[in-house]
Amino acid sequence: MREAVIGALERGLQAAPEAVSGESTVLSNEATEALRNGNRILERAQGESFFLTRKITKMQRAIIDVAAERIAAALIESDDADAASIFSETLTSLIAEPVAATLRLIEQTREALAKAMELAASASGRSAPEELPQPAGMPMVDVGEISQKIVIEKPVMLSLLGKSMLRSHVRRKLETEYDRAVLEFLSLYANRLRRWMEQSINGLRNAFNAFADLHRAHFEAAPFAGGFAEPSTIQNDLRILRDWDTAEAESAIRGI
């Protein structure tokens, strides 16, 4: 009976490393690569968030140019054109694209991380991870404060010279009187948006890292799961059994 136990332990000692180095190792590598990809996704999002918000601060010239074009066209058609409303609509429409791009970045980052986590969970045989936090609290664009400062009246002589001269006049007025205000508005909003993006990305990172830590703990324990004891334990049991055999053999010899 003891010989059978020793044989079983010896086979178990040989089988344990083979089981670990087989399917579990392949799955561990696949899951680990998925987690590494998640870290790359987060780093890429962090870099892109900087460039997206920086783009907003550089829109000052484009906003003034487009607003001057639209205000000049409206002044030619009507003496009562509302320059403040036109500027507000221009600012809102031009800033909408980079603002939407920041939200898309957060959502795409969240989706990509979720896929990486699902792959890691599937590879490690764990249940699906908890849902990542949704983006919330995005700062709104309030153009009312700056647009209400815009006052541009129709100059009689310039309007007689045509739209081109009127556009140049409006642009100069916007640049000389409102250029700094536009830059400050864009800079303040870009900073608010950047902080929001950083908070959103950090929220995703914290949730992802918590999942990754659980995954690592799972695979650190995995080599000795599935019915195999630790090799050191098996070796100790074998040594005890063999010592018993040796002791019994010596006792039998002394008794002859």
Supply the pLDDT for residue 219.
Answer: 59
Show Cβ contacts of residue 204 under 8 Å, excluding neighbours closer than 6 positions: 42, 45, 106, 109, 110, 113, 132, 133
Give per-residue pLDDT as tens, 151-181: 988 777 765 667 788 889 899 999 999 999 9
Show Cβ contacts of residue 150 under 8 Å, excluding neighbours closer than 6 positions: 83, 84, 87, 88, 174, 178
Is 19 contained in some domain? no
Give per-residue pLDDT as tens, 228-253: 445 555 455 546 545 545 544 444 44
Give the residue among 129, 155, 137, 146 at the shortest CA–CA distance from 192. Answer: 137
**By residue range, what is the domain housing residue 42?**
31-215
Output 5 or 209, whichever has higher pLDDT.
Answer: 209
Output 200 or 7, whichever has higher pLDDT.
Answer: 200
Is 179 contained in some domain? yes
Give, in order, the Cα–Cα distances in Å from 144 to each of 11, 88, 150, 236. 79, 7, 10, 78
DSSP state for residue 222 in the 8-state scheme: G
Q: How far apart are the first and last CA of the chain?
A: 24
CA within 13 Å, CB half, 6: 11
Is 155 contained in some domain? yes
Structurally, the chain folds into a number of domains equal to 1
Is 87 contained in some domain? yes
Give, in order, the Cα–Cα distances in Å from 5 to each of 12, 13, 127, 171, 230. 10, 12, 37, 93, 17
Could you tell me if 113 and 204 are in contact, meaning their C-beta atoms sit under 8 angstroms apart? yes
Residue type for position 200: S
DSSP state for residue 140 in the 8-state scheme: P
Give per-residue pLDDT as tens, 49-100: 889 899 999 999 999 999 999 999 998 888 788 999 999 999 999 999 999 9
Supply the pLDDT for residue 4.
Answer: 46
Supply the pLDDT for residue 34.
Answer: 81
Q: What percent of the chain has pLDDT over 90?
A: 42
Is 220 contained in some domain? no
Is 230 contained in some domain? no
Supply the pLDDT for residue 5.
Answer: 40
Q: What is the mean pLDDT of residues 9-15?
A: 50
Is 35 contained in some domain? yes
Average pLDDT, the chain: 78
30 CB burial (10 A radius; 0-12, 13-18, 19+): middle
Report the alpha-carbon distance of residue 132 to residue 198 in Å, rounded: 15
Is 246 contained in some domain? no
Query: What value does the CA radius of gyration of the chain take, rounded to a whole number of Å?
Result: 35
Residue type for position 102: T
